[in-house]
Structure 1
Amino acid sequence: MTKKIVPVIMAGGKGTRLWPLSRAAAPKQFIRFVGDKTLFQETLRRVSDPALYEPPVVLTNEEFRFLVAEQARELDIEIAAIVLEPVARNTAAAVAAAATLVRDRLDEDTIMHVLGSDYEIVAGDTYFGCVNIAAATAAEGKLVTFGIQPTEPATGYGYIEGGKTLPTGARAVARFIEKPPRNKAEDMVATDGFYWNSGMFMFSVSSLLADMRSFATETLRAAEAAFTKSARDLDFIRLDKEAFSAAPNISIDYAIMEKTSNAAVVPSAFKWSDLGGWDSVWKSGSRDEYGNVAAGHTTVVNTKNSLIMTHGVHLAVQGMDNIAVIASEDAVYVGRLQDSQDVGNLVKVLAAAPTTSQLTETHPTSYRPWGGYTSVLKGDRFQVKRIFVTPGKKLSLQKHHHRSEHWIVVKGTAEVTIGDNVQMLRENESVYIPLGEVHRLANPGKIMLELIEVQTGSYLGEDDIIRIVDEFGRS
Structure 2
Amino acid sequence: MGDYTKILPVILSGGAGSRLWPLSRQSAAKQFLPLAGSKTMIQDTADRTRGPDFLPPVFICNASHIDLIDEQIDDYGAIIVEPEGRNTGPCAVVAALHALSLDPDALILLAPADHVIERPDVFLDALRRAAPIAADGHHVTFGMTPDHPATGFGYIQQGKTIADGVFEIESFREKPDEVTAKSYLASGNYHWNSGIFLFKPSLLIEEMAALASECAEPARQSYAQAKHQDRVIHLDAQSFAQCKPEPIDIALMERTSKGAVLPCDLGWRDVGSFRAYRDLHAAGEEAVIIGDGYAHDSAGSLIDTDGPLVALIGLENVGVIVRDGRVLVVELDASQDVKEIVNWLKADNRTDKL
TM-score, normalised by the number of residues in structure 1: 0.70
**What amino acid maps onto 2:300 in structure 1?**
N
- Return the structure number with greater helix share: 2
Q: Which runs of 5+ in 2 are unaligned?
A: none
Residue number in structure 2 paired with 1:304: 299
Say yes or no: does 1:314 pair with 2:309.
Answer: yes
Instruction: Provide the identity percentage.
Output: 35
**1:422-433 paired onto structure 2 within 5 Å:** none
Residue number in structure 2 paired with 1:240: 236
Q: CA deviation at 1:15?
A: 2.7
Contact 2:77 2:231 in 1 (8 A): no
Say yes or no: does 1:199 pair with 2:201.
Answer: no
Residue number in structure 1 paired with 2:77: 80
Is 337-346 or 96-105 further displaced after alignment? 337-346
Residue number in structure 2 paired with 1:229: 225
Matched residue SS, 1:52: coil
Q: CA deviation at 1:302?
A: 4.0
**What amino acid maps onto 1:225 in structure 2?**
Q
**1:125-274 paired onto structure 2 within 5 Å:** 125-274=121-270
The separation in 2 between residues aligned to 1:213 and 1:290, in whole angstroms, is: 50
* Number of aligned positions between the proteins: 352
Q: CA deviation at 1:26?
A: 2.8
Root mean square deviation of aligned Cα? 1.9
The separation in 2 between residues aligned to 1:86 and 1:322, in whole angstroms, is: 39
Residue number in structure 2 paired with 1:293: 288
Residue number in structure 1 paired with 2:97: 100
Q: CA deviation at 1:262?
A: 0.3
The separation in 2 between residues aligned to 1:357 and 1:220, in whole angstroms, is: 33
Q: Which runs of 5+ in 1 are unaligned?
A: 362-475
Residue number in structure 2 paired with 1:330: 325
Residue number in structure 2 paired with 1:59: 60
- Rg larger for: 1
Matched residue SS, 1:17: helix
Contact 2:95 2:108 in 1 (8 A): no
The separation in 2 between residues aligned to 1:113 and 1:144, in whole angstroms, is: 10
Residue number in structure 2 paired with 1:358: 352
Identify if the C-alpha distance between structure 1 residues 218 and 342 changes in structure 2 by more than 3 Å, giving closer, same or farther. Answer: closer
The separation in 2 between residues aligned to 1:158 and 1:61, in whole angstroms, is: 26
Matched residue SS, 2:170: strand
Identify if the C-alpha distance between structure 1 residues 186 and 147 changes in structure 2 by more than 3 Å, giving closer, same or farther. Answer: same
Is 239-248 or 297-306 further displaced after alignment? 297-306
The separation in 2 between residues aligned to 1:180 and 1:222, in whole angstroms, is: 33
Cα deviations by residue, 1:361-399 (Å, 9 ceiling, x for unpaired)? 2xxxxxxxxxxxxxxxxxxxxxxxxxxxxxxxxxxxxxx
Q: CA deviation at 1:297?
A: 3.1
- Which structure carries more relative contact order (alpha carbon 8 Å, separation 6+)? 2
The separation in 2 between residues aligned to 1:212 and 1:349, in whole angstroms, is: 36
Identify if the C-alpha distance between structure 1 residues 37 and 351 changes in structure 2 by more than 3 Å, giving closer, same or farther. Answer: same
**Aligned pair partner of 1:278 in 274, 288, 297:** 274
The separation in 2 between residues aligned to 1:259 and 1:36, in whole angstroms, is: 40
Cα deviations by residue, 1:204-233 (Å, 9 ceiling, x for unpaired)? 112212211221223222122111111123
Matched residue SS, 2:303: strand
Say yes or no: does 1:35 pair with 2:37.
Answer: yes
Contact 1:14 1:25 in 2 (8 A): no
The separation in 2 between residues aligned to 1:244 and 1:124, in whole angstroms, is: 34
Cα deviations by residue, 1:4-56 (Å, 9 ceiling, x for unpaired)? 211010001123111111124432212232532221111111112x2221101
The separation in 2 between residues aligned to 1:79 and 1:168, in whole angstroms, is: 33
Q: CA deviation at 1:352?
A: 3.5
